[in-house]
């Protein structure tokens, strides 16, 4: 026995724990081995391990676990010593994202040949986002995400590789294999019904070779979302909650009472009018000046709660979850409330048959302020009002605006009662039959059912002759939309030695139905908002509605071939037939092919830690677009076309458009080439690619012949748009010290957008972006889609001689106006005829950025983590339309920018003189309103702490995970733009981008939250 004890005393032992780096949770079943030996063990249920009987010496000890980066530490073992050696492993992004959803199946990321990006989703529970679309912003190359306004529930516009059509440019959204409707260009539909906590993965199909499997639905790319599901094992319960406050990050500097009074007098005098104010100094002090922005903006409260239960057996798995989200806006009566419930089960009936379902229900309630064009916009009203007039009089009643006739914004808010309610059910039921290990068939019935109602009640009020409503009224909009999608697929997957083959074939039958009804009644017996129902008003003012149906029949197939993990090929074909097109062009064929070469797997490629993966890929493919309305090929009739008969107004109808059976699909052809690389043992991952995307047979509405009697234009295929650019992404992860993990990532995308052709006539253009009585944007060949169009400025006239010299340039009349005076804007005479006319208008700005980018930094140390996300755009222009009201309309209040106005020769070269009559039309659409919209924003920053599992075990109650965090959203923005926000989305139209009509600001949000697991 003494000999045995002596032998043991001459050896040493290594013990320790293997845990997850960020949370400190134990990793049971992790492998711990002595490098270059047969010695090793696995961790127990508590993550502990023990390796005894080691001879004295120096050892390399490696710990590894599936889905985590392995880690090696060097240790010196002495005779009779027991050493403690702990490992904190960080997740391996490459391993955890190994499987990518590609449409009707999945693929290993290393086998991808097309351009597909994935969005990190592990932190969604701790990020105060309204919609899953926001989780994409700044995270992925080739994808531009813009929040349309800061109003709760306003939606996001997503552009994958640019704008390729003049119609709806949002991508296809697919949730658990079900295409979901996104009827509005603002993106307020789409995937906004999802609770972000229910999302397992977000994969974005960017290239046509990747998205071609969806054919006519994915001309703008596709966003594929997979929700969380249960797994076999003990029941797991997770709970997350956060609450926070929202506030306005910035306001527009406006004149105070005395300043406004003095400058309005100046404007009147310059126009030859009498001063409005007899004594501007009388409004000195707080009682003489009202800051209406301070009264309108307020702090909003946001809160979110999610609860999920999951588990199951080998035969049956389940996950049930519920969520509640509430966002109070930074302006009264703007809010969003969302209630979610979701259930997912999967039952293995026997070795051959599996059945299951995914069901998501959402109840949404949204209240909105007026964000419409021009003077009806609440924030325009807030900027317009006379600051010398208080919001309420001494009796507490709302005041009128006798000197401006503007609406009192606080009164407008008080009178507004506008609420939208929506119920939505999205899901699928499926059955999958596995005949052989390599052959399976799946039948799935998907559905998207939505019912929405808008109630708007306007009470009776009388503030002033221009701000009154003589009778209460109610307007109700009701719509119902249903989509049923039946998919049947057959999948074959088998390896033949060095050859791996996967083939998918299937059919899709989709039917869509939409019904809309609206009506207005008035004469309700009071001002109580509970009377906001149509039946409470005896007089019917308006009633209308519409009905639409469409169907889609598709056949598709995909073949993936892999030879020795070196040569990869993917071929896709889809044949679509849509009822939205005439008989001559109802069906279309959309092919694609892509290939990749994994150079790093070649025998000649050296096995090294410097370059561990190197793949070259290229692809070509076509997609179609059927988002063109339901009856573009048919002759349609428009109602409510009243006409005069025998001196009386009579109701009638008129032809809306003439039939065109030759209308066909818009077709997008895309080519891309890319290079993917992993270096330094997969710690550094790089990707770079070039894309060229051309949309042909663009569907446009040509103007009707004046004598045809048609109400609107008839659609035709006549145009081409090209987008091209580069995409770059990189991420780097390192562990510079024990328990310390650092991850850095970034992406950058360049974009060039151009209309190549448009209709047969070179004179045909598309005008949009309404501004007063004109159009801000213009779409024509040789320029980007929806570019700003107007006059170019050339400084200001400084002296009477300059005005006189300009008026002598033409014998046909004055250069600009007979009343042009020093201090007025001088517009450029581009055609050289000596006069400023419409012929001198030109392109003055481009809302499409030169490039977009994002980068993130994540640091973790012993359960403490710091995460940041920066997001930005560069080189885009914005049109500050609101400045018509804050600079040129001097009857209203003005911004502080007018303090730098022209008051004499040499005093200003940009800001014109103040005049209440504007005889020179200084306020016309020009590059005066165009500003650089570039910005860099700290989108999210979060500090969190994961409670160690050992401490949780001592607390009992089954608590195995607890994390606390604080976060901030939109913490700061670096920009030269002086509006509320430089992030300006679309206004219900692709052609109406980047136009700032005093856009609702995006709030700064501070939150505190907790995540628990049982």
pLDDT at 239 over 90: yes
* Residue count (the chain): 1014
Q: Which residue has the higher pLDDT, 9 or 249?
A: 249
pLDDT at 311 over 60: yes
Q: What are phi and psi of 952, to 5 degrees?
A: -65, -35
pLDDT at 4 over 60: no
Helices (H) and strands (E) in the chain, counts: 11, 56
Confidence of residue 654 (pLDDT cuts 50, 70, 90): low
What does the alpha-carbon distance between residue 178 and residue 752 come to, in Å, rounded to a whole number?
32
What does the alpha-carbon distance between residue 42 and residue 52 come to, in Å, rounded to a whole number?
13
Query: Comparing C-alpha atoms, which of 47, 48, 46, 76 is closest to residue 61?
Result: 76
pLDDT at 653 over 60: yes
Average pLDDT on 553-565 reads 94
**H or E, element range at 540:** strand 539-563
What does the alpha-carbon distance between residue 979 and residue 977 come to, in Å, rounded to a whole number?
6
Beta bridge partners of 357: 345, 429
Strands 12-20, 82-84: pairing kind:
parallel
Instruction: Kindly report, residue by residue over 443-496, the tens digit of the pLDDT.
Output: 999 999 999 999 999 999 999 988 999 999 999 999 999 999 999 999 999 988
pLDDT at 411 over 90: yes
**Cα 481–Cα 483–Cα 489 angle in degrees, nearest 5:** 170
Average pLDDT on 995-999 reads 91
Instruction: Kindly report, residue by residue over 614-650, the tens digit of the pLDDT.
Output: 999 999 999 988 877 777 766 666 666 666 667 666 6
Query: Comparing C-alpha atoms, which of 612, 619, 855, 629 is closest to residue 728?
Result: 855
Cβ atoms within 10 Å of 172's Cβ, excluding its own: 25
Average pLDDT on 93-101 reads 59
Contacts 24+ apart (CB under 8 A), 945-948: 945/863, 945/864, 945/865, 946/22, 946/23, 946/24, 946/25, 946/863, 946/864, 946/865, 947/24, 947/863, 948/24, 948/863
Q: What are phi and psi of 887, to 5 degrees?
A: -125, -50
Query: Comparing C-alpha atoms, which of 1010, 948, 954 is closest to residue 307?
Result: 1010
**H or E, element range at 292:** helix 292-296
Q: Which residue has the higher pLDDT, 316 or 709?
A: 316
Confidence of residue 94 (pLDDT cuts 50, 70, 90): very low
What does the alpha-carbon distance between residue 439 and residue 502 come to, in Å, rounded to a whole number?
10
pLDDT over 90 percentage in the chain: 59
What does pLDDT average to over the chain?
A: 88
Which residue reads 């049947």 in tokens? 488
Query: Comparing C-alpha atoms, which of 616, 721, 603 is closest to residue 673?
Result: 616
Average pLDDT on 819-827 reads 97
Strands 116-119, 719-737: pairing kind:
unpaired
Average pLDDT on 933-955 reads 89
Report the pLDDT value the prediction gives residue 389, as an integer from 0 to 100.
94
| DSSP class of 791 | B
Q: What is the DSSP string of 920-984?
A: T-TTSSBTTSEEE--EEEEEEEEEEEEPPHHHHHHH-TT--EEEEEEEEEEEEEEES--SS-S--
Report the pLDDT value the prediction gives residue 7, as an integer from 0 to 100.
45
What does the alpha-carbon distance between residue 963 and residue 903 come to, in Å, rounded to a whole number?
61
Beta bridge partners of 917: none
Instruction: Kindly report, residue by residue over 527-544, the tens digit of the pLDDT.
Output: 888 877 888 888 888 888
Confidence of residue 655 (pLDDT cuts 50, 70, 90): low
pLDDT at 662 over 90: no
Report the pLDDT value the prediction gives residue 95, as an integer from 0 to 100.
46
CB 975 within 8 A of CB 934: yes
What does the alpha-carbon distance between residue 668 and residue 218 come to, in Å, rounded to a whole number?
9
What does the alpha-carbon distance between residue 315 and residue 558 come to, in Å, rounded to a whole number?
30
What does the alpha-carbon distance between residue 586 and residue 588 come to, in Å, rounded to a whole number?
7
pLDDT at 861 over 70: yes
Confidence of residue 8 (pLDDT cuts 50, 70, 90): very low
2-89 fold: Immunoglobulin-like (2.60.40)
pLDDT at 669 over 60: yes
Token pair for residue 237? 């319960």
Token pair for residue 2? 């003494």
pLDDT over 70 percentage in the chain: 92
3-state secondary structure of 802: helix
Instruction: Kindly report, residue by residue over 163-207, the tens digit of the pLDDT.
Output: 988 888 889 999 999 999 775 544 456 788 999 999 999 999 998
Weakest mean pLDDT among 184-193, 372-381, 410-419, 1004-1013: 184-193
Query: Comparing C-alpha atoms, which of 456, 453, 227, 256 is closest to residue 346?
Result: 227
Most confident of the ranges 278-287, 582-591, 808-817, 892-901:
892-901
Radius of gyration, CA atoms only, the chain? 32
Q: What is the DSSP string of 14-81?
A: EEEEEEETTT--B-TT-EEEETTSS-EEE--TTSEEEEEEEPSEEEEEEEE-TTB--EEEEEEE-TT-
Burial degree of 171 (CB within 10 A; 0-12, 13-18, 19+): buried
Report the pLDDT value the prediction gives residue 176, as an integer from 0 to 100.
94
Average pLDDT on 924-934 reads 97
Q: What are phi and psi of 530, to 5 degrees?
A: -65, -10
What does the alpha-carbon distance between residue 168 and residue 907 come to, in Å, rounded to a whole number?
47
Instruction: Kindly report, residue by residue over 321-353, the tens digit of the pLDDT.
Output: 999 999 999 999 999 999 999 999 999 999 899
CB 266 within 8 A of CB 237: no
Q: Which residue has the higher pLDDT, 397 or 739?
A: 397
CB 160 within 8 A of CB 991: no
Confidence of residue 33 (pLDDT cuts 50, 70, 90): confident
Token pair for residue 462? 């009388």
Q: Would you kindly state where each structural domain of the chain is located, as residue ranges?
A: 2-89
3-state secondary structure of 769: strand
Beta bridge partners of 650: 643
């Amino acid at each position: 026995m003494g000999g045995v004890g002596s032998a043991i005393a001459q050896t040493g032992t290594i013990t320790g724990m293997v845990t997850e780096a960020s949370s400190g949770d134990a990793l049971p079943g992790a492998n711990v081995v002595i490098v270059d030996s047969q010695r090793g063990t696995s961790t127990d249920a508590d993550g502990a391990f023990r390796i005894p009987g080691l001879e004295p010496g120096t050892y390399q000890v490696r710990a590894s676990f599936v889905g985590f980066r392995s880690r090696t530490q060097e240790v010196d073992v002495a005779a009779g010593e027991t050493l403690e050696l702990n490992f904190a492993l960080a997740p391996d992004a490459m391993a955890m994202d190994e499987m990518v959803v590609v449409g009707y199946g999945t693929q290993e990321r290393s086998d991808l040949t097309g351009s597909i990006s994935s969005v990190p989703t592990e932190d969604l529970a701790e990020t105060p986002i309204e919609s899953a679309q926001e989780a994409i912003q700044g995270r992925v190359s080739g994808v531009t995400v813009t929040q349309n306004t800061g109003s709760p529930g306003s939606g996001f516009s997503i552009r994958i590789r640019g704008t390729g059509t003049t119609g709806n440019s949002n991508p296809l959204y697919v949730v658990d294999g079900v295409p979901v409707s996104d009827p509005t260009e603002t993106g307020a539909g789409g995937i906004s019904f999802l609770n972000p906590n229910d999302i397992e993965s977000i994969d974005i199909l960017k290239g046509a070779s990747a998205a071609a499997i969806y054919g006519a639905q994915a001309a703008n790319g596709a966003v594929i979302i997979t929700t969380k599901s249960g797994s076999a094992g003990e029941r797991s319960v997770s709970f997350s909650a956060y609450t926070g406050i929202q506030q306005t990050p910035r306001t527009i500097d406006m004149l105070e009472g005395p300043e406004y009074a003095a400058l309005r007098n100046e404007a009147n005098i310059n126009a030859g009018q009498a001063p409005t104010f007899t004594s501007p100094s009388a409004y000195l002090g707080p009682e003489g000046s009202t800051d209406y922005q301070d009264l309108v903006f307020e702090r909003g409260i946001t809160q979110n709660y999610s609860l999920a239960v999951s588990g199951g057996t080998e035969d049956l798995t389940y996950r049930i979850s519920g969520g509640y989200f509430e966002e109070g806006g930074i302006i009264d009566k703007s809010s969003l409330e969302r209630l979610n419930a979701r259930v997912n089960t999967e039952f293995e009936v026997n070795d051959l048959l599996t059945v299951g379902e995914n069901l998501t229900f959402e109840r949404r309630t949204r209240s909105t302020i007026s964000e419409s064009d021009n003077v009806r916009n609440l924030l325009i009203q807030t900027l317009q009002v006379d600051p010398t007039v208080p919001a309420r009089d001494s009796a507490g009643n709302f005041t009128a605006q006798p000197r401006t006739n503007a609406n009192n914004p606080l009164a407008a808010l008080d009178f507004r009662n506008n609420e939208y309610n929506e119920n939505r059910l999205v899901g699928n039921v499926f059955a999958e039959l596995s005949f052989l290990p390599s052959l399976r068939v799946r039948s799935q019935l998907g559905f998207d059912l939505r019912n929405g109602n808008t109630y708007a009640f306007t009470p009776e009020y009388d503030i002033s002759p221009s701000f009154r409503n003589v009778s209460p009224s109610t307007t109700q909009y009701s719509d119902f939309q249903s989509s049923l999608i039946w998919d049947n697929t057959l999948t074959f997957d088998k390896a033949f030695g060095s050859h791996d083959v996967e083939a998918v074939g299937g059919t899709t039958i989709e039917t869509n139905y939409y019904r809309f009804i609206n009506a207005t009644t008035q004469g309700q017996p009071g001002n109580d908002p509970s009377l906001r129902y149509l039946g409470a008003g005896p007089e019917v003012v308006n009633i209308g509605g519409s009905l639409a149906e469409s169907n889609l029949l598709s056949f598709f197939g995909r073949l993936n071939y892999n030879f020795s993990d070196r040569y990869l090929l993917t071929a896709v074909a889809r044949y679509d037939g849509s009822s939205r097109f005439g008989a001559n062009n109802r069906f279309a064929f959309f092919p694609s092919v892509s290939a990749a070469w994994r150079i790093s797997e070649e025998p000649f490629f050296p096995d090294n830690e410097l370059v561990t993966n190197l793949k070259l890929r290229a692809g070509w493919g076509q997609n179609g677009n059927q988002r063109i309305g339901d009856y573009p090929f048919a002759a349609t009739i428009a109602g409510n076309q009243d006409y005069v008969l025998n001196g009386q107004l009579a109701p009638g109808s008129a032809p809306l458009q003439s039939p065109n059976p030759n209308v066909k699909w818009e077709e997008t052809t895309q080519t891309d080439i890319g290079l993917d690389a992993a270096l330094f043992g997969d710690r550094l991952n790089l990707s770079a690619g070039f894309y060229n995307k051309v949309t042909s047979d663009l569907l446009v509405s040509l103007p009707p012949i004046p004598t045809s009697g048609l109400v609107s234009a008839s659609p035709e295929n006549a145009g081409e748009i090209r987008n091209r650019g580069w995409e770059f992404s990189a991420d780097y992860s390192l562990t510079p010290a024990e328990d310390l993990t650092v991850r850095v990532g970034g992406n950058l995308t360049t974009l060039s957008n151009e209309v190549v052709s448009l209709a047969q006539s070179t004179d045909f253009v598309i005008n949009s972006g309404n501004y007063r009585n004109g159009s801000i944007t213009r779409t024509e060949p040789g320029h980007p889609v929806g570019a700003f169009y107007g006059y170019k400025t050339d400084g200001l006239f400084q002296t009477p001689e300059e005005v006189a010299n300009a008026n002598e340039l033409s014998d046909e009349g004055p250069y600009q106006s007979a009343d042009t005076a020093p201090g007025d804007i001088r517009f450029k005479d581009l055609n050289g005829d000596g006069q400023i006319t419409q012929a001198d208008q030109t392109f003055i700005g481009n809302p499409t950025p030169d490039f977009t980018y994002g980068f993130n930094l994540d640091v973790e140390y012993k359960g403490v983590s710091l995460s940041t996300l920066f997001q930005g755009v560069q080189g885009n222009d914005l049109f500050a339309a609101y400045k018509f009201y804050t600079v040129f309309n001097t009857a209203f209040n003005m911004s502080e920018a007018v303090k730098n106005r022209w008051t004499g020769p040499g005093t200003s070269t940009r800001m014109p003189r103040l005049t209440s009559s504007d005889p020179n039309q200084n306020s016309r659409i020009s590059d005066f309103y165009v500003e650089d919209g570039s910005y860099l924003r700290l989108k999210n920053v979060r500090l969190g702490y994961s409670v160690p599992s050992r401490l949780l075990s001592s607390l009992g109650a089954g608590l195995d995970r607890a994390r606390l965090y604080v976060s901030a959203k939109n913490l700061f923005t670096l920009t030269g733009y002086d509006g509320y926000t430089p992030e300006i989305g679309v206004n219900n139209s692709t052609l109406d981008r980047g136009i700032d009509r005093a856009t609702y600001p995006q709030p700064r949000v501070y939150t505190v939250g907790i995540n628990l697991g049982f």
